A and B are shown apart, each in its own frame.
Chain A
Amino acid sequence: MYVVNSKFLRWYFFIMVEDLLEYIIDYGMKLGANYVEARYQFDVSDTVTLQNGVPLGCGYSSSYGISVRVLYKGGLGFSATNKLTKDVVKDIVSEALKRAETLSKMRKEPITFSETEVANVSYEVKEKEPSLNIPIDVKLEELYEIDKLVMSTNVKIPSRTFRVSSSVTEKIFVNSEGAYVKSRIPRISFFYMTVIHAANKGTITRWSSLGASAGWEQVKEWNPSDLISKEVEILDLVLDKGKKPPKEEVDVILGPEVVGIIVHESCGHPSELDRILGREGAEAGESYMKINMLGERIGTENVTIIDDPTIPKSYGFYLYDDEGVRARPKYLFKNGIINEFLLNREYASVLGVRSNGSARASRFDREPIIRMSNTYLASGNWNFEEMLSEVRKGVYIKTFSEWNICDRRWYQRYGGLEAYYIENGEIKYPVRDPFIELTTKGIYSRIVAVGKKVEFSAGMCGKGNPGQGVPVWLGGPHVLLKKVKLSIAPGR
């Protein structure tokens, strides 16, 4: 752990790390590697949790180390350590080469990386109030305040959890092509879970996350106590007054939170070229997409989905990926057409194109693999009221609870939480647990109207083996779907 407040020690530490990284590249090339990259990553975080008003404990975590990736004889080897001595580092370089050589015997064709511009850059996100410098008691006070306000509503809440996490990630990436990328990204996130109870009506469970690449100032902007107090009152109403959703086919308006999870699961993940070409086949799965599907229609003209790591303050923010490739927005679906895949250098090489900067690693000891960043449905030109007025019979699903999708990203389901019945353009009453269970094409080809305002929620996206959770935003505006048959929860 390095000392955050000591500038001299930090400077000295980085000099030592950069020396080691340089040594890794030299030593790897000397051993005969065709390509060597080394990444130092430092993650520091603190977490404060209040559960049912009890401060169970605070967490502080600091991890740093170095990973090495090599291409050698057509094989790919990866090795990582947090023991930053020259002997151990030397050992992990030889280990990466040995394993790459073994892998080369297990391959029919060699692994290659696509060409890319050689980056030489340092960048950082400058937060207003560095969150790790905010004392724990201030953070706890914030959670107590939320708890007080939420419990002062007339809603019965037998269980509630509030958690705030602050982190900083620093990386230095170098490779044998001469790239150097140094970055520092602070992040803050807020998680909450509430169980709302009403006599003879059962319970509703709500959880959600907010996240940003920012400092403590972001918490004030989120105003979680106001957000959650209002939400529990609304959900209490849904629990008390909610009726069954209609059985016949109806129109459905989905809120930004629901749209965000849909585009993440059924457009973002299946656009990852490593999935499409089978690399994640035994774990996170493959994809309904094939490489010859670029240019194929998947939805209506209204559907444009973008993955963009460069959105300022976003939770999935970065400017250069973990292969040193400059990041840019990727138009995955454009006006309903499959337009672009998410690529790293290995899989771009399979297509004979350049990487679009989608390689991310969650920790120092994880290999960079193809990931999403901030994935969202682009805005249209409809007001919410205009959408409502289009609906004769329908349901508005504002938020969701349960969701899942098959590992080819085709069969999916989303369970509505805050939801309402609509009749002749007016919201009439709350609806309990309406479910959408449709295919990917089924959803995107039903979208007839897209709202003007994009909103984001935060998530930790999982993929890879060993698993890697990376921060992402998921978002979109309200959308209107035509002719949807809803299902209901078991036992209702």
Chain B
Amino acid sequence: MDSGELIELGEQILKLAENKGIEDLAVLMRSSRSWMVRFANNQGTVIKHWNEVGVSVRIGYKKRIVIGTITSTDIKEINKALDRFLAIAKVSRENPFYTPLPEGPFKYESIKRSYDRRVLELVDKVDDVVETAINEALASGARRCAGQLSFGERTKVLVTTGGVRVSETSTAITLTVRGFFNGDSSGTGVSCSRTLDNFNPEEAGAKAGRIAREASRVGNIEAGKYDLVLDPLVVSNLFGHVLGAASGLGVYMKLSFFTNLIGKEVSTAILTIADGSREPGILGTTSFDDEGVPTQNTVVIERGVLKSLLHNSMTAKLFNVSSTGNAGWISPGPRVLKVNPGDYKEDEIFEEVKKGIYISNNWYTRYQNYREGTFSSVCRDGVFYIEDGELKFAVRGLRISDNFLLLLKNVKALSEKLYHVYWWESTLPSLVPYILASNVNITKTLF
């Protein structure tokens, strides 16, 4: 279905809802066509394709909220679904924080470089793209590769009782290449973009191969405090948790480690972190949020100070501020992690380290204490001991085991170049630098 048909469907749903006495309604519809190629051991394992449409509604009825989703665009089925949602709302209870949907209409400015029809033409070239990435990884030192290539087009349409009628269509392409030198020596490279212009399978393959080969020279270090050079993949994962903790609802509910810290110094002054909902060409961006509020880039930590949280209408009211355009019908949240660049060249960041560790990737970040931000995260792929700025050897079985508020206070340097990253384990699209953090706790697995 195209955006015109979806808007028409949205109008019909609004009329049905109005006749049923539903006061406040948002209808969010998504239609997409997408493909994914997965590969392992230098060969394809499956190609998948999706042709889908979905309808979500947020019903407000006498200060009760029901969120309903259905995968049908048949108006008769939707009508029955609305009856069901309304029946739920009627026996539910009032939400004391209830906030009506924002009154539009609003003016929206589209996100630059968010659509490229050439992305869809990749469907006939997937074997070439994957082969290019694999060959580059093998030429750079990997012996075998696994990964995925995904691409497609999505149309998103929002219609609300607040007078919102808006649609946008975007494309996306992501590639992950993991090179293996042997089972324990691996490296990951990614490339992602909304357009083909910034898509670079060669670079992703080359990084994966280079790190995989270098990770085969293994040495040993003890657990303890180290200076860490965090690859953009690691920054995306860990600082994605930091941006997630700035959700207005999590802070209001006293769940977040940012509870009671608004306006306070939470990191070193060199750090500025924003939700980059409007960064041109970056995955995850959108011109309107789920309530129809135009999006913006919101600085969350500005030169070390927790300046703003991320809000929808409800949490904005609770904090007596304006929505930042980050709805979420119940909980506001980030879309794009943007960490401002620093003034270091990448080589200079490594040169700063006397004794430390370069972590090229990580996964499985989990909390010992969510409220306090105490966590650990498993180092993945190449992890290298650094001495006097040089990578000496790879190390295994390590974890970053620390606290986010301590980590933020230990950020010492950022690279001047930013990288657009996104992959299976870092699902918040990111535009981030290399980061040097000092005195970070590293634990090591014993036999």
Contact = CB atoms under 8 A, between A and B. Distances in A.
B435 to A, nearest CB: 19
Contacts of B366: 402-404
Nearest to A3: B80
Contacts of A465: 36, 38, 148, 424
Given A137-B92, A413-B399, A437-B445, A278 B47 contact: no
Contacts of A413: 376, 399, 401, 443, 445
Interface string A469-490: 0000000000000000101011
A442 B40 contact: no
Contacts of A286: 183
Contacts of B223: 487
Interface string A23-60: 00000000000000000000000100001101111111
B254 A402 contact: no
B53 A82 contact: yes
B68 interface: yes
Contact of B52 (A82, A406, A411, A442): A82
B180 interface: yes
A92 B364 contact: no
Interface in A46-79: 46, 51-52, 54-65, 75-79
Interface stretch (A103-111, A172-180, A217-225): A103-111
Consensus secondary structure, chain A interface:
mixed
Interface in B60-87: 64-73, 77, 80-81, 84-85
A489 B92 contact: no
B147 A57 contact: no
A278 B182 CA distance: 12
A195 interface: yes
Most buried by A among B54, B64, B447: B447
Contacts, number: 288
Given A278-B40, A465-B36, A64 B71 contact: yes
The B interface, classified by DSSP as helix, strand, loop or mixed, is strand
Given A102-B127, A413-B399, A281 B146 contact: yes
Contact of B183 (A77, A107, A111, A408): A408
B40 A282 contact: yes
A54 B178 CA distance: 45
A104 B399 CA distance: 40
Interface stretch (A123-131, A200-208, A334-342): A200-208
Interface stretch (B16-24, B93-101, B269-277): B93-101
Given A54-B95, A56-B97, A62-B71, A491 B406 contact: yes
Given A91-B51, A92-B51, A95-B49, A1 B81 contact: yes
B106 interface: no
Interface string A273-297: 0000111111110100000000000
A381 to B, nearest CB: 28
Interface string A399-440: 001111111101111010000000000000000010101110
B338 interface: no
B177 interface: yes
A411 B445 contact: yes
A257 interface: no
Contact of A490 (B37, B147, B441): B441
B44 A75 contact: yes
Contact of B43 (A102, A106, A136): A106
Nearest to A281: B146
| Interface size bracket, B side | 35 or more
Given A63-B71, A466-B36, A205 B445 contact: no
A205 B176 contact: no
Given A55-B95, A56-B95, A413-B399, A405 B66 contact: no
A262 to B, nearest CB: 14
Contacts of A57: 64-67, 95, 329-330
A99 B36 CA distance: 10
A22 to B, nearest CB: 21
Contact of B44 (A106, A161, A367): A106
| Most B-side CB within 10 Å, residue of A136, A158, A435 | A136
A159 B253 contact: yes
Contacts of B319: none
Contacts of B376: 402, 404, 413, 415
Contacts of B46: 76-78, 103, 367
Nearest to A249: B446
B367 A467 contact: no
Given A63-B70, A108-B43, A205 B370 contact: yes
A112 interface: no
Nearest to B74: A1
Contact of A406 (B148, B378, B441): B378
Nearest to B89: A58
Interface residues of A, number: 94
Contact of A1 (B53, B77, B130): B77
B406 A490 contact: yes
A2 B298 CA distance: 42
A88 interface: yes
B446 A485 contact: yes
Contacts of A54: 95-97
B265 to A, nearest CB: 19
A59 B380 contact: no
A88 B51 contact: yes
A393 B66 CA distance: 54
A282 B93 CA distance: 45
A78 B49 contact: yes
Q: Which of A96, A195, A405, A441 has the most CB of B within 10 A?
A: A195
Interface string B375-403: 11110100000000000000011010111
A367 B253 CA distance: 38
Interface string B172-195: 000011101001100010000000
Interface string A126-143: 000000000111001000
B363 interface: yes
A58 B69 CA distance: 12
A281 B443 CA distance: 25
Nearest to B402: A490
Contact of A99 (B48, B93, B95, B131): B48
Contacts of B176: 282-283
B378 A411 contact: yes
A397 B98 CA distance: 42
Given A1-B81, A62-B71, 16 more contacts: A57-B67, A62-B69, A159-B254, A193-B370, A202-B369, A281-B146, A281-B180, A365-B50, A401-B369, A404-B366, A406-B397, A407-B380, A413-B445, A439-B447, A489-B369, A490-B406
17 contacts: A52-B253, A52-B254, A60-B66, A76-B45, A88-B51, A91-B51, A92-B49, A99-B49, A106-B130, A108-B43, A195-B255, A278-B144, A404-B364, A404-B378, A439-B445, A465-B424, A489-B401
